Amino acid sequence: MKISIITCSYDAVNTIEETIKSVLFQKDANIEYIVIDGLSDDGTAGIIKKYSDKIYKFISEKDSGIYNAMNKGIKLAEGDIVGFLNADDVYFNEKVINEVIKVFENEKVDSVYGDLVYVSEYNNKIKRYWKSGDFNINNFKRGWMPPHPSFFVKSDVYERYGGFNENYKISADYELMVRLLYKNKISTFYLPEILVKMKTGGISNKISQTFKRLKEDYDIMKKYNLSGFAGELGVMFKKRFYKINQYFNKKI
DSSP state of 140: G
Residue 14 within a domain: yes
251 CB burial (10 A radius; 0-12, 13-18, 19+): exposed
CATH no. for residue 154?
3.90.550.10
pLDDT of residue 250: 47
Residue 125 within a domain: yes
pLDDT of residue 124: 81
Residues 8 and 24: their CA atoms lie apart, in Å, by: 16
pLDDT digits (tens, 9 = 90+) for 98-133: 999 999 999 999 999 999 999 987 778 888 899 999
Instruction: Give the angle 230-231-232 at the CA atoms, nearest 5°.
Output: 130
Yes or no: say if 195 and 115 are a contact pair by the CB < 8 Å rule: yes
> Number of folded domains in the chain?
1
Yes or no: say if 121 and 200 are a contact pair by the CB < 8 Å rule: yes
3-class secondary structure, 91: strand
Instruction: Give the angle 108-114-118 at the CA atoms, nearest 5°.
Output: 160
Residue 252 within a domain: no
pLDDT of residue 228: 56
Residue 110 within a domain: yes
Residue 35 within a domain: yes
DSSP state of 86: -
pLDDT of residue 207: 60
Residue 28 within a domain: yes
- Domain span at residue 242 reads 2-246
pLDDT digits (tens, 9 = 90+) for 26-70: 999 999 999 999 999 999 999 999 999 999 999 999 999 999 999
Neighbours of 137 (CB within 10 A): 11
Residues 218 and 226: their CA atoms lie apart, in Å, by: 9
Residue 189 within a domain: yes
Residue 165 within a domain: yes
Question: What is this structure's pTM?
Answer: 0.89
Yes or no: say if 97 and 26 are a contact pair by the CB < 8 Å rule: yes
